[in-house]
Amino acid sequence: MSALIIDFPGPELTDSDRTLLNDPAVAGVILFTRNYQNTEQLVKLTTDIKDTVKRDLLITVDHEGGRVQRFREGFSAIPAMGEIEQVGTSEAQQAALARELGWLMASELLACGVDHSFAPVLDLHGPSEVIGDRAFSADKGKIVWIAQAFIRGMHEAGMRATGKHFPGHGTVVADSHIAVPVDERSLEEILASDAAIFAELAGHVQAIMPAHVIYPKVAPEPAGFSPYWLQTILREQFNYSGILISDDLLMAGATVAGTVSERAEQALKAGCDLLLVCNDQAAAKEVLAQVTFPAPRVDAVQALKGQSAFNSLAELKGSQRWKNAQQLLQRFTRTQ
């Protein structure tokens, strides 16, 4: 019955944090920049979570690269994914760059005790205010093979992959963090463009995160609350059998589904296995108090657990592959 992924406010756990995280309905924790000081502190924090809270708690982060990278000092500066096709001069080179960046991002996190990064973004590069260069490309075909290489690198590091934001957030302008985006395209248009990427990569990712976007010509609710999108299209038509993770239920794009508890219930009913409730412990407590979590469809925590090949970050940084990746990073012009 564990389904909720929540956060806490500081760089170390308090007793009240431990109490909240030990609730049977809590499946994982998501870390933010406020939880990070340096790599030594992060290792201590993740060890504390595993030793004093729950050893099976999933430790997650949004650490894609570019402007979405929660940990900076002590970590490699991963470029935005949109830079890969600009720097690589051939398809083979772009795939090689993506593979090494996926490996590097995942390896450093795993070596510090972080199980999972919610990556990669599979949206098309388009007019979206929030996606932008987080996307690999404006070309759906390029996204498929560049993302596939990035995912391969993550897997080689020992980390599972989460594709987001199904069925596509890149072609709608509004930012679902602060607004309720509406995409007026038909189902046929979406399936032929944005969603086609997810169809191609459904067998390569272990989790998919739906968008808080309403596609009114397809379904009345945002995709993350829609049985039609999650069951009829994703599971049945795309034959996807992995984990479904809601985007943060406190984002503005989710508010159309009612109170935070009602949002949680609707997301579960639509088929989400894990629910994110971020940056508001009172809201997380409300969900824990008011929502009855069903028996899980699968053991989502174990399905997304990572396993590092290195015993420490120092050991990783001593490896030849990590050193080679640092040389690769010099090819990217950083804009952060």
pLDDT in tens, 202-254: 999 999 999 999 999 999 999 999 999 999 999 999 999 999 999 999 998 89
CA 212 to the chain's CA centroid: 14
What global pTM score does this model have? 0.96
CA distances 68 to 78, 171, 181, 243, 320, Å, are: 9, 19, 20, 22, 27
Residues with Cβ within 8 Å of 33's Cβ and at least 6 positions away in sequence, in order, are 70, 71, 72
Q: Tell me how many degrees the CA angle 55-309-102 measures, rounded to the nearest 5.
A: 100
Confidence (pLDDT) at 336? 41
CA distances 283 to 35, 177, 260, 263, Å, are: 19, 16, 7, 11
Q: How far apart are CA 311 and CA 314, in angstroms?
A: 8
The structural domains of the chain, ordered by start, are 4-255+272-329 (3.20.20.300)
Q: Which two tokens stand for residue 81?
A: 């994914």
Q: How far apart are CA 109 and CA 291, in angstroms?
A: 32
Helix (H/G/I), strand (E/B), else coil: 234: helix
185-191: long-range contacts, CB 8 A cutoff, minimum separation 24? 185/215, 185/217, 186/217, 186/218, 187/215, 187/217, 187/218, 190/215, 190/218, 191/167, 191/233
CA 259 to the chain's CA centroid: 23
Phi and psi dihedrals of 15, rounded to 5?
-60, -40
Q: Which two tokens stand for residue 294?
A: 């069903």
Please, what is the angle between helix 91-111 and helix 320-329, to 10°?
120
Q: How far apart are CA 88 and CA 97, in angstroms?
A: 7
Q: Which DSSP symbol is given to 151?
A: H
Confidence (pLDDT) at 108? 98
Q: Which residues carry out catalysis?
A: 177, 247
Confidence (pLDDT) at 1? 67
**Average pLDDT for consecutive 10-residue bins of the chain (336 residues)?**
92 96 96 98 97 91 96 97 94 96 98 98 93 96 97 98 97 81 95 98 98 96 97 98 97 91 97 97 96 92 95 98 96 63
Per the rule left: phi > 0, alpha: psi between -120 and 50, beta: everything else, 203 is alpha
Question: Residue 119 class from Cβ within 10 Å (0-12 exposed, 13-18 middle, 19+ buried)?
Answer: buried
Helix (H/G/I), strand (E/B), else coil: 275: strand
Dihedral, 61, 63, 64, 67 alpha carbons, nearest 10? 120
Residue 182 has a CB neighbour count (10 Å cut-off) of: 14
